[in-house]
Each structure stands twice: as structure tokens, then as C-alpha cells.
Amino acid sequence: MPRESRAHKKARMQQEYALLCEEIPDPQCALDFTNPFELLVATVLSAQTTDKRVNMVTPPLFASYPSPEELAAANPEIVENIIHSLGFYRSKSRNIIALSHDLMERFDGEVPSNMEDLVTLPGVGRKTANVVLGNAFGIPGFPVDTHVIRVTGRLRWREDWKSTNPDPVHIEKEITSYFPAEEWTDLSHRLILHGRAICHARTPDCAHCPLQQTCPSAFHI
């Protein structure tokens, strides 16, 4: 594929995204939550496991610890027992208890609605913060997970598509530069859902992909 101009690349990206919007008209966060605190905890728990597994442990977790105040005072062993099936349960237990303590001590028990404060909480990186901002507060956020990295690379939406160790922050900045801020959250959702359903890591289902006509990687993986 010859090198694209930025204008041509943007036009192709918009065309492909329009097809993703048709494929996935109503993208939703896969984690179950009722408030920003629940989403924050659930997202921290989702590291290196599936959203489905997280959704299995959060109902009993939040039934026992419905707010930062209760979780901050929790017995770590009891929390570990509740989330044991997730893996890395000891470090995750420490993180969600510690971030709850920080919420109580530093933010009056409220989840902050800005990137700068969110990433100071234990276990919270930029991806988690973007999930919370976009889905709990309606503030534009573009979480970059493994699906986003894979799909944007195969589509060559990003300059470093050949990289074996791409920088998620650079990907976030580059991809969002092509789209209006109000699309960022749904854009991330659609790329993730497309990656899960069709653009699989090992064997993408190119035959059923709506982007096969323009995707540079179609039928070549």
C-alpha cells in the first residue's frame, strides 16, 4: 500500500468508521456498573481478564462494599476471596482497597472526573481513567486496549502499525486527532467490539468483515 496523505488517510478512516457504526450501531460498555465508583473498581479488576468474569464478581463485591468508605475499611482476605477467580487477586485487592482509601482521604469519597486526579489513584492508568471519564461522566475518553492496538494497526490508522511494542499514549493521541472528541468513547467501544467479534488476534474473520474492501491487512494474516 503506497504512503497515504493525511487527507486521504482521514477520508479512509471516516469511511471505515462509518461502516463500523453500521455494524455496531449502539456500542455499550461491557462492564456492569451503576455509578462512577463501581465502574472505577470494575475497570481496575478487568486488567488481564475478561469483562464477563469481572461482571460475575462485582455483584457480591458491591453488595458487601457499596461505597469507598466500606471498601477502604475492608478486610483484604475477604475481598481476595470474593475476587479470587479473576487472577492477580491479591494485587487487585490491594489496589481497590487503597484507591477507596484515597477517594475518602483526598476526594471526599467521590471519584474525580478528570484525568490528572484519576491517574494518581492506585491501580489506575490512563486506559482505566479514559474508561471512567467516557462511560461514567460523559467526558471524551479513548481507552486503548489490546483490541484497539490490534485493529488500528491492521487498518494502518496509525503510523507505527509495524511496531511490536506500540505506545498506547501515542496511539490515543494519533487516532483521536482524526475524530471529533464526542466520538472518542464510542470509537473505542466499536474498535474493541469489532476486535472481539471479527478482527481476532490469531485468525481474523476477514470474509465477514465490513472493512475488507479497504483494510490493507484483509486476507493477509
**Cα(92)–Cα(123) distance, integer angstroms:** 8
**Cα(29)–Cα(22) distance, integer angstroms:** 18
Could you count the other beta carbons within 10 Å of the beta carbon of residue 87?
13
DSSP state of 85: G
φ/ψ of residue 5, rounded to 5 = -75, 160
Catalytic residue set? 127, 145
CA of 35: how far to CAs of 110, 113, 128, 146, in Å? 10, 12, 15, 25
